[in-house]
Amino acid sequence: MNALNRQFELIRQSATVAMADRILALKASGQPIIGLQVGDPDFGTPPAVLAAASRALQAGLTHYGPSSGYLDLRQAIATKLQRDEGVVYDPASEILVTHGGIHAYYTALQAILNPGDEVLVPDPTWATHANMVVMLRGEAVRVPAPAEHGFIPPLEAWAQALTPKTRAIVLNYPSNPTGAYPTRDYLEQLQAFAEAHDLWVVSDEVYGSLYYGERPTSAAAVAGAKDRTLIVNSLSKTYAMTGWRVGFLAAPARVIANALKASQNSITCVAPFIQKAAAFALVDPEVQVATAQMRAAYTQRRALVLEIAREVGSTRVLVPPPMGAFYFFLDVRPLGRPSVEVCEGILEVAQVGLVPGSAFGEQGEGFVRMTIAASDADVGAGFRKILAWAEKEKA
Ligand SMILES: Cc1ncc(COP(=O)(O)O)c(C=O)c1O
Mutate to test the pocket of ligand 1, among 17, 37, 97, 102 (most ligand atoms within 8 A of CB): 102
Residue 234 Cβ < 6 Å to ligand 1? yes
Ligand 1 midpoint to CA 232 (Å): 9
More confident position, 141 or 23? 141
- Percentage with pLDDT > 70 across the chain: 99
Domains of the chain in start order, with CATH, are: 6-44+288-392 (3.90.1150.10), 47-284 (3.40.640.10)
From the DSSP assignment, how many helices (H) and strands (E) are in the chain?
A: 12, 12
Ligand 1 midpoint to CA 176 (Å): 9
- Which residues sit opposite 183 in a β-bridge? none
Residue nearest to atom 7 of ligand 1 (CA): 101
Q: Give mean pLDDT, residues 228-240.
A: 98
Nearest atom, ligand 1, residue 103 CA: 11
**Which are the contacts of 126, defined by CB distance < 8 A and separation ≥ 6?**
172, 176, 177, 204, 360
pLDDT digits (tens, 9 = 90+) for 4-48: 999 999 998 776 677 788 888 898 898 999 999 989 999 999 999
Q: Give mean pLDDT, residues 357-373.
A: 97
Ligand 1 midpoint to CA 295 (Å): 17
> Shortest CA distance to 255 belongs to which of 168, 139, 164, 125?
168
Residue 236 Cβ < 6 Å to ligand 1? yes
Nearest atom, ligand 1, residue 172 CA: 1
Residue nearest to atom 13 of ligand 1 (CA): 39
Ligand 1 midpoint to CA 101 (Å): 5
Ligand 1 midpoint to CA 85 (Å): 19
Q: Which pLDDT does position 13 carry in this prediction?
A: 75
Residue 395: which pLDDT band, with cuts at 50, 70 and 90? low
Ligand 1 midpoint to CA 389 (Å): 30
Mean pLDDT of the chain: 96
pTM, full prediction: 0.97
Q: Which pLDDT does position 20 carry in this prediction?
A: 80
Ligand 1 midpoint to CA 44 (Å): 18
Q: Give mean pLDDT, residues 323-331.
A: 98
Distance CA 30, CA 113 (A): 47
Q: Which pLDDT does position 18 carry in this prediction?
A: 77
pLDDT digits (tens, 9 = 90+) for 96-107: 999 999 999 999
Q: Give mean pLDDT, residues 136-144.
A: 98
The identity of residue 374, as a single letter, is A
Mutate to test the pocket of ligand 1, among 107, 176, 355 (most ligand atoms within 8 A of CB): 176
Give the angle subtended at the CA of 102 by the CAs of 277 and 174, to the nearest 5°: 95
Residue 208 Cβ < 6 Å to ligand 1? no
pLDDT at 394 over 70: no
pLDDT at 232 over 90: yes
Nearest atom, ligand 1, residue 242 CA: 9
